[in-house]
Amino acid sequence: MRIPMLIIGGGIGGMSAALALAQAGFPVHVVEQGSDFTEIGAGIQLAPNAVRILDGLGLLPEINEIAVRPRSLVFLDIDTADRLATVDLAEPFVHRYGYSYAVLHRGDLLDVLLAACRADDRIVLEPNKRVTAVVDQHDRARVEFADGTSYECDAVVGADGLWSKTRRLVSDDQPICSAYVAYRGAVPIDELPIPVDDDAEIIWIGPNKHLVQYPIRGGELYNQVAVFRSDRYRPGMGGDGDWGTPDELDDHFGTACEQVRSSVTLFKRERRWPMYDRAPIDNWTTGRITLLGDAAHPMLQYLAQGACQAIEDADSLAKYMLKHQSDVSEAFASYQQDRLPRTGQIQRVARAWGEIWHATDSIVPALRNRVFARSSAEHYRDLDWLYQAEVV
**pLDDT value for 94:** 96
Residue 264 has pLDDT above 80, yes or no: yes
Confidence of residue 391 (pLDDT cuts 50, 70, 90): low
Is the pLDDT at 121 greater than 80? The verdict is yes
DSSP of 279-330: ---S---BTTEEE-GGGT----GGGS-HHHHHHHHHHHHHHHHHHHTT-HHH
The answer to whether the CB of 44 falls within 8 A of the CB of 109 is yes
CA gap 98, 100 in Å, rounded: 7
Among 33-37, 73-77, 274-278, 340-344, which stretch is predicted with the lowest mean pLDDT?
A: 33-37
CATH 3.90.1170.50 fits 2-45+60-66+104-174+279-356, yes or no: no
Cα 12 to Cα 113, 126, 333, 369, distances in angstroms: 8, 15, 23, 35
User: pLDDT at residue 242 above 80?
Assistant: yes
Single pTM value for the model? 0.96
Question: In the chain, pLDDT over 90 holds for what percent of residues?
Answer: 82
- Who's near 236: CB < 8 A, 6+ residues apart? none
Residue of 97, 101, 214, 320 marked active site: 214
Coil, helix or strand at residue 224: strand
CB 189 within 8 A of CB 215: yes
* pLDDT value of position 317: 98
Q: What pLDDT shows up at residue 376?
A: 80
pLDDT score of 214 more than 90: yes
Q: What pLDDT shows up at residue 1?
A: 82
How many contiguous H segments (helices) and E segments (strands) does the chain have? 11, 16
Computed over every residue of the chain, the mean pLDDT equals 94
pLDDT value at 392 more than 90: no
Q: Which residue has the higher pLDDT, 375 or 27?
A: 27
- pLDDT of 111 strictly over 80: yes
Least confident of 124-138, 181-195, 222-236: 181-195
Model confidence at 109: pLDDT above 80 = yes
Per-residue pLDDT, averaged over 200-226, amounts to 94
Helices (H), 67-219: 91-97, 106-118
Mean pLDDT of 177-193: 90
pLDDT reported for residue 243: 93
Q: Work out the average pLDDT over 40-57.
A: 94
Mean pLDDT of 157-161: 97
- Other Cβ atoms within 10 Å of 33 Cβ, number: 15
In the 8-state DSSP scheme, what is residue 39? -
CA–CA dist 72, 94 (Å, integer):
12
- Residue from 350, 345, 239 nearest 300 by CA: 350
Could you give the percent of the chain with pLDDT greater than 70?
99
- Is the predicted pLDDT of residue 326 greater than 80, yes or no? no
Q: Inform me whether the pLDDT recorded for 154 exceeds 80.
A: yes
What would the mean pLDDT of 126-149 be, rounded to a whole number?
95
Q: Indicate if the pLDDT at residue 269 is higher than 90.
A: no
Query: Among candidates 379, 389, 385, which has minimal Cα distance to 93?
Result: 379
Q: How confident is the model at residue 197 (pLDDT cuts 50, 70, 90)?
A: confident
214 in active site = yes
